[in-house]
């Protein structure tokens, strides 16, 4: 890609960007949200065409006027949100739009055999006739990769491929990437997880504000150099330091149960404290938080707020007791994406902003403006749709609405999933500010460096139970957490 420009109304998304990749090479494409990564890969996928510049494949200039052109040229883009039809089988999704036919009918047997071969090539042991809606996220991703192989792709683009995977599934993903590499297939790997970049990629290209600002061989770049390239400034540490001064107990949970997913969970959180919840995917962390706030019905258990037992059977009751949950799925559970950012801010605060059955929009907007300033939320207008914001700014909108509700116990599930390094730092600083203001913060995260870097205490779960607590995270390691997260009771 040479001298690529892309202009949208009012936005110059790419500004003379260059990018190249060789056969059998794995290149990381890094940058903050809004840096131009999505625009670049949508051009490779045929969803956008350059305003200026040339795309060359094997040295020949080529135009991708549609996704069909891109696929025919051997480019496969696996987006973060998969393009699969849940009601169709793995086989049907692999060959969708390119069905094998004989005498005007779909050749099911031939498709089944080929689908099985493609799935086997990437080490995925599933029946090709299984509905994609019944597969795990990792298995669905495997189907996407199998579809790329079926198209004889020479270039595969992976956008945040590990965002929803467990550590063991990430290991399998890396094995697939290395296998593609051995076959001479070029792989563009987009991720905000720098540990992965250092493990799987040969080279890195960094975009900032629509321009290629540097990169090089990954082995020759220090972690802090990469971060500075991405954000355009120096960050003293990935995790801002805070001196913890825990106060009185704000929340206590005793013997919380919900089927096999939450079993006898007991813990407490004090004001001014950040308590991290660690564990593998499926350990019961999110399920514990949902049962705590009444989003899912609990079988039994007692909940105490400021020393007083409270009854919580639905989220409304949790909110009234000052408990809020920033869900790991902020797009589906934290925001109404087609509504404006100010409307999303006002949703849990309508009682305060309403007068005689009508919303006082002036008061709503004035209070929202204060949070836009204090949380440094980047929006073009209060009426901008929430779905058009970056992940970091979406997270800030969700946090703002709960702060306006004066929540005292704040549960943040996967606070930085899909968020770039610069915005991560801002979210971490906000978490520290909440604790410094005397809030009780529970942070659920699959990112072990994040858990270690941000928590005052770490609670580790395994198969619905608490398996241990790490009281001094500064002197603990990822191995300490994993040992508790993996081992079953003796």
pLDDT at 489: 59
Q: What is the DSSP string of 3-52?
A: EEEEEETTEEEEEEE-----TT-EEEEE--TTSSHHHHHHHHTTSS--SE
Q: Evaluate whether 297 touches 258 at the Cβ level (below 8 Å).
A: yes
Give the side-chain half-sphere CA count within 13 A for 169.
Answer: 17
Any idea which fold 2-231 has? Rossmann fold (3.40.50)
Rg over alpha carbons for the chain, rounded to the nearest Å, is 24
Provide φ and ψ at 450, rounded to 5°. Answer: -65, -45
The predicted structure's pLDDT at residue 488: 56
Consecutive 10-residue averages of pLDDT for the chain (490 residues): 89 91 96 83 92 94 92 88 88 90 87 90 86 86 87 90 76 88 94 88 93 92 85 71 85 96 96 94 90 95 96 94 89 89 91 86 91 86 88 86 90 83 82 92 91 94 94 90 75
What is the residue-wise DSSP string for 102-144? ETTEE-HHHHHHHHHHHHHHTT----TTSBGGGS-HHHHHHHH
For 349, which DSSP code? G
Q: For strand 56-57 and strand 52-54, is the pairing parallel, antiparallel, or unpaired?
A: unpaired
- Pair of tokens at residue 126: 């599933």
Residue 163: CB atoms within 10 A of its CB come to 17
pTM comes to 0.68
Residues 320 and 305: beta-carbon distance below 8 Å? no
Q: 249-486 architecture in CATH? A: 3-Layer(aba) Sandwich (3.40)
Whether 374 and 405 have beta carbons less than 8 Å apart is answered as: no
Whose structure tokens read 């192989």?
Answer: 149
CA 387 to each of CA 229, 343, 373, 394: distance values in angstroms, whole numbers, following the listed order: 27, 12, 20, 8
Delimit the domains of the chain by residue range.
2-231, 249-486
Cα dihedral sign, 340-344-349-354: positive
Residue/partner pairs of 252-255 with CB below 8 Å, 24 or more apart: 252/303, 252/304, 252/307, 253/292, 253/301, 253/302, 253/303, 253/304, 254/301, 254/302, 254/303, 254/304, 255/300, 255/301, 255/302
Q: How far is it, in rounded angstroms, from Cα 300 to Cα 291?
A: 10
């Amino acid at each position: 890609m040479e001298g690529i420009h892309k202009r949208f109304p009012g936005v110059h998304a790419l500004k003379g960007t260059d990018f190249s990749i060789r056969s059998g090479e794995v290149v990381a494409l890094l940058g903050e949200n809004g840096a131009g990564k999505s625009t670049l890969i949508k051009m490779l996928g045929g969803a956008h065409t350059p305003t200026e510049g040339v795309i060359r494949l094997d040295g020949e200039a080529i135009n991708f006027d549609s996704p069909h052109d891109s696929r025919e040229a051997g480019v496969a883009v696996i987006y973060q949100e998969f393009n699969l039809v849940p009601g169709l089988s793995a086989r049907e999704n692999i060959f969708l739009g390119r069905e094998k036919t004989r005498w005007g009918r779909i050749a099911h047997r031939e498709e089944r055999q080929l689908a099985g071969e493609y799935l086997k090539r990437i080490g995925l042991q599933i029946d090709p006739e299984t509905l994609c809606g019944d597969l795990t996220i990792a298995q669905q991703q495997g189907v996407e990769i199998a579809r790329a192989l079926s198209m004889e792709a020479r270039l595969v683009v992976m956008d945040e491929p590990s965002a929803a995977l467990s550590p063991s599934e990430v290991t399998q993903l890396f094995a697939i990437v290395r296998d593609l590499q051995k076959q001479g297939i070029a792989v563009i790997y987009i991720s905000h997880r720098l540990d992965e970049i250092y493990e799987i990629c040969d080279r890195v290209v960094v975009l900032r504000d629509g321009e290629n600002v540097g990169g090089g061989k990954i082995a020759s770049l220090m972690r802090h150099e990469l971060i500075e390239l991405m954000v355009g400034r120096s960050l003293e540490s990935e995790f801002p330091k805070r001196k913890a001064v825990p106060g009185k107990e704000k929340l206590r949970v005793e013997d919380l149960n919900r089927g096999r997913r939450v079993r006898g969970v007991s813990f407490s959180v004090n004001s001014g404290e950040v308590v991290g919840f660690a564990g593998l995917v499926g350990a019961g962390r999110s399920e514990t938080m949902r049962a705590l706030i009444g989003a899912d019905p609990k079988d039994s258990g007692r909940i105490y707020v400021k020393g007083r037992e409270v009854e919580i059977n639905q989220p409304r009751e949790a909110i009234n007791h000052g408990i809020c949950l920033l869900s790991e799925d902020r797009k589906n559970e934290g925001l109404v994406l087609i509504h404006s950012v100010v409307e999303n801010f006002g949703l849990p605060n309508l009682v305060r902003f309403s007068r005689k059955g009508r919303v006082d929009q002036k008061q709503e907007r004035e209070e929202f403006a204060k949070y836009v300033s204090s949380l440094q939320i980047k929006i073009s207008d209060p009426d901008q749709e929430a779905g058009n914001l970056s992940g970091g700014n979406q997270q800030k909108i969700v946090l703002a609405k709960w702060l306006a509700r004066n929540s005292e116990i704040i549960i943040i599930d996967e606070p930085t999933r899909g968020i770039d390094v610069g915005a991560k730092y801002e979210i971490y600083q906000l978490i520290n500010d909440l604790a410094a203001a005397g809030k009780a913060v529970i942070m659920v995260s699959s990112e072990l460096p994040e858990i270690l870097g941000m928590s005052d205490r770490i609670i580790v779960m395994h198969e619905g139970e608490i398996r241990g607590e790490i009281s001094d995270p500064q002197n603990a390691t990822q191995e300490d957490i994993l040992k508790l997260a993996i081992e079953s009771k003796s």
